[in-house]
Structure 1
Amino acid sequence: MKIIKSASLDSIEAIAIDVESTFTKGLPTFTIVGMISTSISESKDRVKSALLTNGFKFPPLKITVNLSPSEIAKKGTHFDLAIALQIAFYDDKKVNFSDIFVFGELALDGNIKDTNSIFPIILSLSKKDSINKVLVSSQTAQKLANIPNLKIYCVNNLSEAIEFIKTDKKENYLYEKKKLEYKTLIINDEQYFYDTNYLEDFKDVIGQDMAKYAAMICAAGNHNLIMEGSPGCGKSMISKRLQYIMPPMNLEEILEKAKLLALDFKEVDFSPIRAFRSPHHSSTKSSIFGGGSSNAKMGEIALSNGGILFFDELPHFSKSILEALREPLEDNKILISRVNNKILYETKFIFVAAMNPCPCGNLLSSVKECRCNEIEIQRYKNRLSEPFLDRVDLYLVMNDSFKDNKNKVSSKELHENIIKAFIKQKQRGQKELNGKLSDEEIKKYCILDEESLNILEKARFNYQLSFRSINKVLKVARTIADLNDNEIITKNDLLQSLNFRRR
């Protein structure tokens, strides 16, 4: 019995699947078994039509195709090509499918199409070293070209796929890989990519020098940021420009971002611009965190992994969403448990939020009068709990004055400083940037001089800082020290960090 290798997604990870078949005498039927979805069941008609329109006779036999292992639920139209090849070579005992994985959806005329699930499947298999050769369509091959240590053979239709299996000169179908055309850095023998095309530039933001400085610290060290200020003072403008000045990405991060885009049914993008997700405050808890009883789907926090999760009008998000955010913000991962499955997502995103100082928004305004009473303001502030706010590294209160509009800093200038700080962090041997350091790594990298130690002790007593708050202060101070080109954290670095703590 001949076996063709393929694979299926189980939540966000891929599982290798063997496509096997038998052809026996009896009433002509075509059956696909192996705990299959409707999309796989429908492939019978696509496969039959593709074979007949390309001059192949459908065998008048009882055909049974099995997708093994059978206890795993399988879905996707990418099994079409593997099933069609099984039938096309049903009477050829010499053919050898070897160790090539086969993926592709068949059109009725035999052309091979790409599907959103193929890229994440092959990337997942590649990370586990379970795949080294793959046969796909030309469209899919373009997406796979950046996956390292993978031989990609591409065909356009079913006839070409059959010729590929027959021929000994498989090199003629080999897809030529292309390099990513972005600016690069090489640090400790690892390559990082970055883009200098700023679609939205910080020079458009008038004034708000302190907010721009906070944004630079936020991006340089992957720190969480909340901005509080009157409507129209520039909170959302700053947030939307953050993704273009984020630190460089290595190939693994770029591929992971592309995988999340594919799973979200978006166009796959291999640019080193990090993800930016901005859900509305009316979004449900399931849409933010992911859910589903049988087929669990990713939420916004999983899709923003490695990028930015932006909450505008923060206090208007439901209390349950804000409190549930505490775990992914602290542990950088979240476990979604359902009756049928349990899925662990990485959540190494930067949390950025914007909020008004009061319900009417004019409490801090220099030109408008606030219409809220003390009870309304307090009720508005109480929507954000202390444990939630304790997980925020940078808290900034913005004014609505534009007198300091002479200093127009551009995204290019900010990005250059961030890249310098990024290089310092990587040269120290840090796997994670400062904002995501563990307790042990904080002790190793966040070293204070004697004067700074005394200041931190006084701040701990005066501001009643928790252990978590002290660690946040140290991590922000480490990033400020990197931006100031200081080897250890100085008094000035620490005082600036304390200035960004919520009072």
Structure 2
Amino acid sequence: MSLAVLKSRALAGMEAPEVNVEVHLANGLPSFTIVGLPDTEVKESRDRVRAALQNCGFDMPARRITANLAPADLPKESGRFDLPIALGILAASGQLPAEQLHDYEFAGELSLSGQLRPIRGALAMTFAMQRGKTGPPRAFILPHANADEAALVANASIYPAHSLLEVCAHFAARDQRTALQRHRPALLAPDFAYPDFADVQGQHHARRALEVAAAGGHSVLMVGPPGAGKTMLASRFPGILPLMSDEEALEAAAVHSLCGSFKVENWKRRPYRAPHQTASGVALVGGGNLPRPGEISLAHCGVLFLDEIAEFDRRVLDVLRQPMESGVISISRAARQAEFPARFQLIAAMNPCPCGYLGHASGRCRCTPDAVLRYHGRLSGPLLDRIDLQIEVPAMAPALLGTKMVAGASTAAIAERVAAAFALQLARQGKANHLLANNEIAQHCRLDTAGEQLLHGAMLRLHWSARTYHRVLRVARSIADLAGNTAISQAHVAEAIQYRRVLRVA
């Protein structure tokens, strides 16, 4: 037999389309050619595969070898095709039984010694393999380092291997001692150690706002002088968020798998991303010749914390507007497009002025009104319009820092209240409050006469847009859920309104 066909997977955004790895041996001068739109990493497979086969004791056929990665118009990248190409050469040359190869899919990068190195996107590949199967289910052979993440997909048959020799021994095995064993991950119940909110002195208004934000999935902007505790509050925020569902955990893990950054010990841990102010728009949304996810996708189902948000380039910040509304980011290039999930919770912090001490008790701010307006103008009006809660975080009085204050609620206590409010939302509408569409707001966020008059009056005085009006209603719904109330009262509306009055752009 001079032809062998094996199955593997490519990566195209979050998708992992099937790839047929066809290896043909023909007469002629010895050569090794890979076709099918391979990039440089795939072309270099020729040298890795040749060395791995020889160092494992196999014969490299002195014939004309052609490896075709079909479909031909799908770009192929990374070293994931090393293993199926090597196995195809062995099967086509008769050094490996080929009867069972069609029951498996393969992926793995080979070292020169024949060891299997980890690959990116193993979870996305396994998920696509299970979701798209139409015939008998196929098993997946891949490097041992990727086994835990791939086995997170329910009912997937994962067979990890350390080397090319182990894979070959599996197909030549006559007993179970040399066959690969199906992998089953030992997942622990999520029990993560988060910083405690009880460590935060004072800042009861900010703590309450973050509790409301966690209950309904709302975005937050904290404005205050340096050292007021904005970063400290943000770092504790993931600990009070509702527990991730299996679907959310799988989506978040798949995004991190594409970048090779997923760790099984972080299963069901809310992502927390804090990019530096020098990050570019591509770093936030993702991109590249072969598109990869950016920070907002890596924060999917978690928190994106932008510290000193006014120091980011304004054009960079404005790229957040579309994914904050839709929950997905579409990256378009001349030759290809990719779509990544981006349902993140934005927590931002900034100083009130360029020097940071506007309104501080020390009175040391010398910023002119024009300078303050220009500083605030670094955040566009449309972006601010999409941030649900905009709160002030004042500096602590020096006299209070040296005294023993009454400790606030702990992270565990706040998380318990948030979980109860979130359970009410799931029972009522099946999703978090911030995801309510406009027609659903009319159904689930009805106001009494007093509350409606209060909200309409605030909208006229503060010149709010229709988007802001709906966002205030969603926040009021979350406040009512925290109180365990079915109806939204005037008090709930009043609290939601005062979370929108800190920062306005002229």
Could you state the TM-score of these two structures normalised by the residue count of structure 2? 0.90
Given candidates 153, 165, 169, the residue that maps to 1:163 is 169
Q: Secondary structure at the match of 2:304?
A: strand
Residue 173 of structure 1 corresponds to 180
**Deviation string, structure 1 residues 298-331 (Cα, Å, up to 9, x no partner):** 3222222221111111222222123332222222
Alignment of 1:469-488 (within 5 A): 469-488=468-487
Alpha-carbon separation, structure 2, partners of 1:105 and 1:382: 49
- Is residue 344 of structure 2 the alignment partner of residue 349 of structure 1? yes
Alpha-carbon separation, structure 1, partners of 2:263 and 2:236: 21
C-alpha contact 1:287 1:299 (8 A) present in aligned 2? yes
Residue 135 of structure 1 corresponds to 141
Residue 413 of structure 1 corresponds to 413
- Is residue 148 of structure 2 the alignment partner of residue 152 of structure 1? no
Given candidates 104, 110, 118, the residue that maps to 2:108 is 104
Shift of the alpha carbon at 1:450?
4.0
- Is residue 249 of structure 2 the alignment partner of residue 254 of structure 1? yes
C-alpha contact 1:141 1:175 (8 A) present in aligned 2? no
Q: Secondary structure at the match of 2:17?
A: strand
Amino acid in structure 2 at the alignment position of 1:222: G
Given candidates 377, 391, 395, the residue that maps to 1:396 is 391
**Deviation string, structure 1 residues 247-280 (Cα, Å, up to 9, x no partner):** 1111222222222223334243443221112122
Change (3 A) 1:382 1:40: closer
- Is residue 122 of structure 2 the alignment partner of residue 118 of structure 1? yes
Residue 302 of structure 2 corresponds to 307
C-alpha contact 1:209 1:407 (8 A) present in aligned 2? no
**Deviation string, structure 1 residues 198-256 (Cα, Å, up to 9, x no partner):** 2x221221110110111111112110100111111111111111122221111222222
Residue 285 of structure 1 corresponds to 281
Amino acid in structure 1 at the alignment position of 2:146: T
C-alpha contact 1:112 1:157 (8 A) present in aligned 2? yes
When structure 1 is superposed on structure 2, of 322-331 and 148-157 the one drifting more is 322-331
Amino acid in structure 2 at the alignment position of 1:87: I
Shift of the alpha carbon at 1:195?
3.4
Alpha-carbon separation, structure 2, partners of 1:11 and 1:195: 31
Amino acid in structure 2 at the alignment position of 1:117: G
Shift of the alpha carbon at 1:88?
1.5
**Deviation string, structure 1 residues 109-154 (Cα, Å, up to 9, x no partner):** 2222221233333234434447642112322212212111211122
Alignment of 1:205-220 (within 5 A): 205-220=200-215
Shift of the alpha carbon at 1:421?
1.4
Q: Secondary structure at the match of 1:14?
A: coil
Alpha-carbon separation, structure 2, partners of 1:41 and 1:154: 25
When structure 1 is superposed on structure 2, of 280-289 and 456-465 the one drifting more is 456-465
Amino acid in structure 2 at the alignment position of 1:277: R
Alpha-carbon separation, structure 1, partners of 2:372 and 2:29: 77
When structure 1 is superposed on structure 2, of 297-306 and 200-209 the one drifting more is 297-306
Alpha-carbon separation, structure 1, partners of 2:88 and 2:129: 22
**Deviation string, structure 1 residues 182-202 (Cα, Å, up to 9, x no partner):** 2xxxxxxxxxxx53522x221
Alpha-carbon separation, structure 2, partners of 1:285 and 1:302: 13
Q: Secondary structure at the match of 2:491?
A: helix
Given candidates 247, 271, 275, the residue that maps to 1:275 is 271
Shift of the alpha carbon at 1:168?
7.4
Amino acid in structure 1 at the alignment position of 2:478: T
Runs (4+) of structure 1 exceeding 6 A deviation are 168-171
Alignment of 1:417-436 (within 5 A): 417-430=417-430, 432-436=431-435
When structure 1 is superposed on structure 2, of 439-448 and 144-153 the one drifting more is 439-448
Residue 190 of structure 1 corresponds to none
Given candidates 175, 191, 195, the residue that maps to 1:195 is 191
Amino acid in structure 1 at the alignment position of 2:494: L
Amino acid in structure 2 at the alignment position of 1:300: E
Alpha-carbon separation, structure 2, partners of 1:257 and 1:169: 39
Alpha-carbon separation, structure 1, partners of 2:80 and 2:176: 22
Residue 442 of structure 2 corresponds to 443
- Is residue 47 of structure 2 the alignment partner of residue 40 of structure 1? no
Could you state the TM-score of these two structures normalised by the residue count of structure 1? 0.91
C-alpha contact 1:2 1:96 (8 A) present in aligned 2? no
Given candidates 33, 38, 43, the residue that maps to 1:31 is 33
Shift of the alpha carbon at 1:20?
1.0
Change (3 A) 1:348 1:421: same
Residue 185 of structure 1 corresponds to none
Amino acid in structure 1 at the alignment position of 2:159: Y
Q: Secondary structure at the match of 1:108?
A: coil
Q: Secondary structure at the match of 2:293?
A: coil
Amino acid in structure 1 at the alignment position of 2:273: R
C-alpha contact 1:112 1:156 (8 A) present in aligned 2? yes
When structure 1 is superposed on structure 2, of 120-129 and 271-280 the one drifting more is 120-129
C-alpha contact 1:6 1:16 (8 A) present in aligned 2? yes
Q: Secondary structure at the match of 1:95?
A: coil
C-alpha contact 1:28 1:62 (8 A) present in aligned 2? yes
Alpha-carbon separation, structure 2, partners of 1:296 and 1:392: 28
Aligned residues: 489
Alpha-carbon separation, structure 2, partners of 1:137 and 1:326: 39
Q: Secondary structure at the match of 1:248?
A: coil
Alignment of 1:455-466 (within 5 A): 455-466=454-465
Alpha-carbon separation, structure 2, partners of 1:337 and 1:58: 42
Amino acid in structure 1 at the alignment position of 2:42: I
C-alpha contact 1:81 1:102 (8 A) present in aligned 2? yes
Q: Secondary structure at the match of 1:334?
A: strand
Identity of aligned residues (%): 34
Given candidates 52, 59, 62, the residue that maps to 1:60 is 62
When structure 1 is superposed on structure 2, of 169-178 and 19-28 the one drifting more is 169-178
Alpha-carbon separation, structure 2, partners of 1:32 and 1:176: 32
Amino acid in structure 2 at the alignment position of 1:84: A
**Deviation string, structure 1 residues 422-452 (Cα, Å, up to 9, x no partner):** 211122242x311122212222322333432
Amino acid in structure 1 at the alignment position of 2:488: I
